[in-house]
Structures are given as structure tokens and as C-alpha cells.
């Protein structure tokens, strides 16, 4: 080992246990605060855009942990575009807002307490870009949340099969975006970490990361688990196979109701209104409606169609590791 390598791997006073622990605590608190701000902006985006296009607003809920909701509803006469915009602005606010925060992080270095603000903007950007992209991918593929609602409004499931293919295309595009983010964001974070704890080789950077960022993430996830709150990934868990049968059953229910109200309506009109009414359900009541529909389908002997789904969450994790590994190697080369 050369002298430079020995010096690079040797801890300095800036790497003292107290300073490392303090930085890790700062990260844990910042992750929590930034996650709550991200959820607040997400849900507020729904209701603000909905109100702009005449939706009735019922309120916004942001819990201490987990995911909130913004309840709004349109009338049957509202077209598809306002509905899609109100639904899409929520998850897109994470991605766009997070990307803007990462860019701003480059320009706050000369501010008073510039390193603190750089840390806040970098962490906000990192967690919101990655969480927003994963929500878009999982929601589109597994059939839940804002992504699926927006796709149902855009491409009503009128037995053409188009919705399924569109959801797959959207998922593939978003997973490609996750790969790009998985390369870009770790490079930004490691540059930030070097400002707190200068390190001249990759192994030292990874050790510092394991001593600071990993405990912070564990503390945040532990708080989330202990809170008992849930996440959209709930619908991608053991009950995810029921998502699409539930959607079909509920849309059929709305279609039957609209046909009874308007016997002269064409099949295309019935399908469009049923899709809109499905997407119009208040988020605060979705989970209970999901459980009721699953119980009804089971009682009727109707279950999910046989077939295997791709373990998308694991694929995203692998993509994140590949992108992060490439970023780490690039950082080691000093580029």
C-alpha cells in the first residue's frame, strides 16, 4: 500500500465518532422532514390542480409517517384531461421537485450555512426523485394509486387490452429513469459527503456512508414500521394479485349504474363514465372498498387470473445497486 493510500484510509479528526453520529442524526431528521414536505406537496398538488379545473375538494391528510391523501372529486361532465392532470401532478411533484432541489444544491454553497442547506436540498432531492419514480413504476405495473387511475382515465379498459400494454410501456420507461437516477443521485450524495468528511479513496467513502447514511435510513424506516402507517407498496404486497380484478369489478359496477341511469348510452360512453367514476373514488375510502371488493370476489368464486407477475420492487433494487455501483466506480476514478 502506498503512502497516499494509507493516508486516505486513515480517519481524521473530522471523522470523529461524535461528528459521524451527529451527521447521521441530522440525516435521519432531514429524511423525515423532507419526506413529509414531499407528501404535503404531492397531496396539495392533487387538490390545487383539481380545484383549478372545478373539482370538489374534501381535504388533505399528511400523517407522521407513510403516505397521505388529497380527496377531490369531479362531476361526470368533466373531461379526461383535467382528471389526468390532477392525478399525475402528485407523483410528478416528487420527481420534478426533487430534480430541482438537486440542481439548487449546487448553488447554495456560498450561502451562510451553505453546507447545511446543500445537505437539505440534496437529501430532499434524492428521496423524492427515487420515491416518486418507484411509485410511478409500481403503481403502473401492479394496478394501484395515482398512476393506474391516470392510465384508466386516459385509456379506459374497454376490453381492448390497450391499458395493459400502456401500463407495461410506462413501467419500462420509468425503470429506465430509475437507472439514470441511480447513477446521478449517488454521485451527488458522495460529493456532499466528501464536503463533510473528506476521503481520498472509495473504500473510505463507503465506510463513512455505512456509518452515517445507513443508520439514518434504518432509524427512519424503523420509525415508519413502528408508526403502523402504510404505503402504496401495500397494494404491491401479498394482495397485489387482486388489484386488477378489483378494478374490473368496480368499473363493471359503475357501468351498470350508468346504464340504468342512461339506457340510451353507447358502450363507449358507458365505459368512459365508469372509468371516470372509478378514478373519482375518494382516496380516504379506497382501502376499505378494496377489502369489500376482494371479499365479494372471493364469495363469488372469482379470483385473480393465473399467471406470474414480475417482482418489480426487487428489479428496481437491482437497478439501484447497478447504478450506484457505476457511480461509485466513476467517483473512484475522480471523474
Cell digits for 13?
479528526
Residue 143 lies in a domain: yes
Residue 145 lies in a domain: yes
Residue 321 lies in a domain: yes
Residue of 44 and 15 predicted with greater confidence? 44
Q: Is residue 220 a contact partner of residue 26, using CB atoms and an 8 Å limit?
A: no
Task: State the pLDDT at residue 5.
Answer: 39
Q: Residue range 229-246: average pLDDT?
A: 64
With a cut of 60, say whether residue 236 has pLDDT above it: no
Q: Which domain holds residue 120?
A: 15-239+313-332
- Nearest CA among 145, 92, 95 for reference residue 124: 95
Q: For residue 258, give Cα distances in angstroms to 93, 250, 278.
A: 34, 13, 12
Cell digits for 84?
389526468
With a cut of 70, say whether residue 8 has pLDDT above it: no
Residue 324 lies in a domain: yes
Residue-averaged pLDDT of the chain: 83
Count of structural domains within the chain: 1
Q: How far apart are CA 329 and CA 314, in angstroms?
A: 23
Chain segment 137-182, per-residue pLDDT in tens: 988 888 888 898 899 888 877 756 788 888 889 999 999 999 999 9
- Nearest CA among 67, 66, 70, 68 for reference residue 48: 70
With a cut of 50, say whether residue 6 has pLDDT above it: no
- Which of 119-123, 187-191, 229-233, 304-308 has the largest mean confidence? 119-123
Residue 286 lies in a domain: no
Residue 58 lies in a domain: yes
Tell me which H or E stretch contains 62.
none
Residue 124 lies in a domain: yes
> Model-level pTM?
0.86
Amino acid at each position: 500500500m502506498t503512502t497516499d493510500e494509507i493516508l486516505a484510509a486513515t480517519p481524521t479528526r473530522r471523522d470523529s465518532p461524535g461528528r459521524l453520529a451527529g451527521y447521521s442524526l441530522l440525516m435521519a431528521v432531514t429524511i423525515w422532514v423532507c419526506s413529509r414536505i414531499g407528501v404535503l406537496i404531492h397531496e396539495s398538488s392533487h387538490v390545487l390542480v383539481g380545484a383549478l379545473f372545478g373539482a370538489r375538494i374534501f381535504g388533505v391528510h399528511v400523517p407522521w409517517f407513510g403516505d397521505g391523501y388529497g380527496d377531490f372529486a369531479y362531476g361526470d361532465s368533466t373531461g379526461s384531461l383535467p382528471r389526468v392532470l390532477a392525478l399525475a401532478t402528485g407523483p410528478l411533484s416528487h420527481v420534478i421537485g426533487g430534480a430541482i432541489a438537486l440542481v439548487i444544491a449546487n448553488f447554495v454553497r456560498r450561502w451562510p450555512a451553505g453546507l447545511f442547506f446543500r445537505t437539505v436540498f440534496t437529501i430532499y432531492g434524492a428521496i423524492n426523485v427515487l420515491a416518486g419514480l418507484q411509485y410511478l413504476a409500481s403503481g403502473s405495473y401492479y394496478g394501484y394509486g395515482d398512476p393506474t387511475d391516470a392510465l384508466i382515465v386516459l385509456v379506459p379498459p374497454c376490453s381492448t387490452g390497450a391499458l395493459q400494454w400502456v401500463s407495461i410501456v410506462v413501467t419500462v420507461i420509468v425503470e429506465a429513469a430509475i437507472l439514470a437516477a441511480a447513477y446521478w443521485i449517488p454521485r451527488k450524495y458522495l460529493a456532499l459527503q466528501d464536503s463533510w468528511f473528506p476521503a481520498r479513496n472509495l473504500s473510505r467513502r463507503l465506510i463513512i456512508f455505512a456509518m452515517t447514511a445507513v443508520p439514518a435510513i434504518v432509524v427512519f424506516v424503523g420509525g415508519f414500521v413502528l408508526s403502523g402507517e402504510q404505503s402504496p407498496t401495500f397494494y404491491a404486497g401479498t394482495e397485489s394479485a387482486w388489484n386488477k380484478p378489483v378494478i374490473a369489478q368496480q368499473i363493471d359496477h359503475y357501468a351498470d349504474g350508468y346504464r340504468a341511469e342512461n339506457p340510451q348510452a353507447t358502450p363507449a360512453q358507458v365505459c368512459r363514465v365508469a372509468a371516470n367514476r372509478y378514478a373519482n373514488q375518494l382516496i380516504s375510502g379506497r382501502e376499505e372498498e378494496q377489502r369489500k371488493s376482494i371479499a365479494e370476489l372471493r364469495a363469488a368464486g372469482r379470483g385473480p387470473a393465473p399467471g406470474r407477475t414480475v417482482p418489480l420492487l426487487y428489479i428496481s433494487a437491482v437497478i439501484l445497486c447497478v447504478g450506484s455501483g457505476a457511480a461509485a466506480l466513476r467517483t473512484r476514478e475522480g471523474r
